[in-house]
Amino acid sequence: MAKKKDITGDLSTEEKIKEAARQVFTKKGYAATRTRDIAEEAGINLALLNYYFRSKEKLFEIVIMEKMQLLLGKIGPVLTDEKTTIEEKVEDISEHYISTLIANPDIPLFVLGEIRNNPEKFANLIMTKTKIVNSAFFKQLAARRPDIDPLHFIFNMLGLIIFPFIGKPLIQLITGIPSERAVVLMNERKKLIKTWFQAMLDAK
């Protein structure tokens, strides 16, 4: 066997390809990505991509599942936790996701775009992973505000957290704010969202 491991900090060929695929796929989406882009980004011969991963589709599968896990992995357990309050859940999710998204700002648009292009494909995966409607969070919201559909507050929370990352290219074009300031703003939101969410819950 001549298996090369990632020696001396350098990545193995396989890992170089995967990392390049993460970059290119998340930035441009599946359809706009050419396998040659990935090969170039990874600095490897195009044929190696198929040697290690069989096909563009298979490589994509790996990347999208990773990113989906990153976007959806945390939410289920938190929302179904019977022991925490609404406020604790919101703060937990807010802090966790903003940190994750600062490190991976392209994920939401990427994942949501691919779901749009292929809803059937992800249906099973997502449904098993997260059952919001029967969660503790849902019941807590319904008890606190029986007059408003709990889904509204789910939308609100996710909108406050995720939208800035989706809308960033637009807002950055409109306002011209530098990306360092954008990061500062996002960090501020970690705490602010909790307060805002409470205010919305109590609004009459």
Q: Which residue ranges make up the site for DNA (CB under 7 A)?
A: 1-4, 13, 33-36, 44-48, 50-51, 54-57
What does the block give as tokens for 28?
């441009």
Which three-class secondary structure state does DSSP give residue 153? helix
C-alpha 120 chain-centroid distance: 19
Only segment of 16-24, 43-51, 53-61, 173-181 that touches its own copies (CB under 8 A): 173-181
Of the two residues 16 and 89, which places its CB atom closer to its own copies in the complex?
89
Site string for its own copies, 6-35 (x = CB under 8 A): ---------------------xxxxxx---
- Judged by CB under 8 A, which of 169, 178, 179, 191 binds its own copies? 169
Residue 164 as a binder of its own copies (CB under 8 A): the answer is yes
Of the two residues 17 and 109, which places its CB atom closer to DNA in the complex?
17
Asked if 41 and 13 count as a contact pair (C-beta separation under 8 A), the reply is no
Only segment of 10-18, 40-48, 81-89, 128-136 that touches its own copies (CB under 8 A): 128-136
Q: How many residues does the chain have?
A: 204
Which three-class secondary structure state does DSSP give residue 196? helix
What does the binding site for its own copies look like in residue numbers (CB under 8 A)? 27-32, 106, 109, 111-113, 115-117, 119, 122-123, 126-127, 130-133, 148-149, 151-152, 154-156, 158-160, 162-164, 166-167, 169-171, 173-177, 185, 188-189, 192, 195-196, 198-200, 202-204
